[in-house]
Amino acid sequence: MLKGKKILIGITGGIAAYKIPFLVRLLKKSGTEVQVMLTPAARDFVTPLTLSTLSQRPVLIDFFNKDDGSWNSHIELGLWADLLLVAPLTANTLAKMASGIADNLLLTTILSSRCPVLFAPAMDLDMYQHPATIENIKKLKSFGYRMIEPVKGELASGLTGVGRLEEPEKILEVIKDALNPKSVFRGKKVLVSAGPTYEPVDPVRFLGNHSTGRMGIEMATAFAGLGAEVNLVLGPSGLTTDDPSIKVYPVTTAEEMYDRCMGIFPESDITVMAAAVADFTPANPSELKIKKETGKANIDLVPTKDILASMGSEKKPGRILVGFALETDNERSNAKKKLQNKNLDLIVLNSMKDKGAGFGYQTNKVTLISANGTEKEFPLKSKKEVARDILLAIEALL
């Protein structure tokens, strides 16, 4: 959800500046572009080299770069940022921000910015409780800036009280929230399965299907983009995702998919079974390669466990369970039967008759049927767009 976002972090001269390199690392891992700016005093607390190495950009401190005579445009920087964070914010810079003082590059950039501004005061407890600080914080809030409250704990002075900078992981959550404020999926735990399963016949052969996993991966990506914590159980597929908010669990067989999914399912608010799970598996896979000299080979098949049906029977109230149905005939009535028999909230029907829909295509044409009786047929769309349509239908159920 942070991928491609541009975040400007202003660091001021407080001891908590040591936490910011960790935050920069977390942000970079989330795919954001990070521009770090230091006030001159901050340079004594954390080195520009550390921050430029982690952010992969030169750290900006002054208006002018003495080496080449160029200058850093506070206006361009202010407009560049999708979000500006000042952390840690000292009482001094806080007071300057409250008064609109612009005597360094960071303060000038803050005045030039149009994006959301977050500020994270960190200082000794008496400074934090001083009426001047309290007034200045009120003023910043009245500008529409959002405060990341300092937390209680042991302070650098040795005193204990409120004034510690929040931990980088928590700051990251506030940044996500500020950039995607309205998503109902924020913080929801989502389980998505995708791809085919391979059922071994012997050490070199398997029974599989044509699923690529694309539809499920697009679903997982769409959920992650809206702030959900996503677990993706992925059958053997040439596709995957490097989205840092998606935890990928590779599996091969229907049995492995069952074990992994059923382990994660109880904790999941929303589950989407987009995987094309084999309905049958060889009863006795050969330990050795089956040789053609044996003449005719028969493979005995036994049914696999129906993961979606197991989930449906264990589903707790308030949880959402979504299945897929790929049908060749009597599409709607077959899909409705599955919806009912497997205790689903929503089923995504695609018909093998529709051109450009189903396995191997970048596109899909679906009908969404929900347990509350609504039914909506969509035109052929990219799987990314279909994923969004399904999320909107799930949002309506929530």
Round the CA-based radius of gyration of the chain to a whole number and report it.
Answer: 27
Whether residue 92 lies in the annotated active site: no
In one letter, which amino acid is 339? L
Of the candidates 67, 150, 155, 80, which has an alpha carbon nearest to the alpha carbon of residue 112? 80
Cα–Cα distance list, 298 to 200, 256, 283, 291 (Å): 14, 24, 11, 12
Min separation Cβ 277 and ligand CTP, Å = 4
Is position 109 an interface residue for ligand CTP (rule: CB under 6 A)?
no
In one letter, which amino acid is 202? D
Min separation Cβ 381 and ligand CTP, Å = 20
Min separation Cβ 236 and ligand CTP, Å = 15
Q: Under a CB-based contact definition with an 8 Å cutoff, are residues 268 and 319 in contact?
A: yes
Residues 28-57 that bind ligand CTP (CB under 6 A): none
Of the candidates 306, 284, 318, which has an alpha carbon nearest to the alpha carbon of residue 397? 318
Q: Which is nearer to ligand CTP, 8 or 273 (CB)?
A: 273
Is position 307 an interface residue for ligand CTP (rule: CB under 6 A)?
yes
Give the integer Cα–Cα distance in Å for 393 and 184: 12
Residues 270-299 that bind ligand CTP (CB under 6 A): 273, 275, 277, 279
DSSP letters, 378-390, are --SEEHHHHHHHH
Q: Which is nearer to ligand CTP, 302 or 392 (CB)?
A: 302
Residues 240-259 that bind ligand CTP (CB under 6 A): 254
Q: Compute the residue count for the chain.
A: 398
Is position 306 an interface residue for ligand CTP (rule: CB under 6 A)?
yes
Is position 61 an interface residue for ligand CTP (rule: CB under 6 A)?
no
One of 140, 190, 308, 390 touching ligand CTP (CB under 6 A):
308
Catalytic residue among 209, 330, 334, 372: 209
Residues 313-372 that bind ligand CTP (CB under 6 A): 323-326, 338
SS3 81: coil
Give the integer Cα–Cα distance in Å for 279 and 3: 37
SS3 368: strand
Q: Which is nearer to ligand CTP, 97 or 308 (CB)?
A: 308
Catalytic residue list: 209
Site residues, ligand CTP (CB under 6 A): 254, 273, 275, 277, 279, 304, 306-308, 323-326, 338
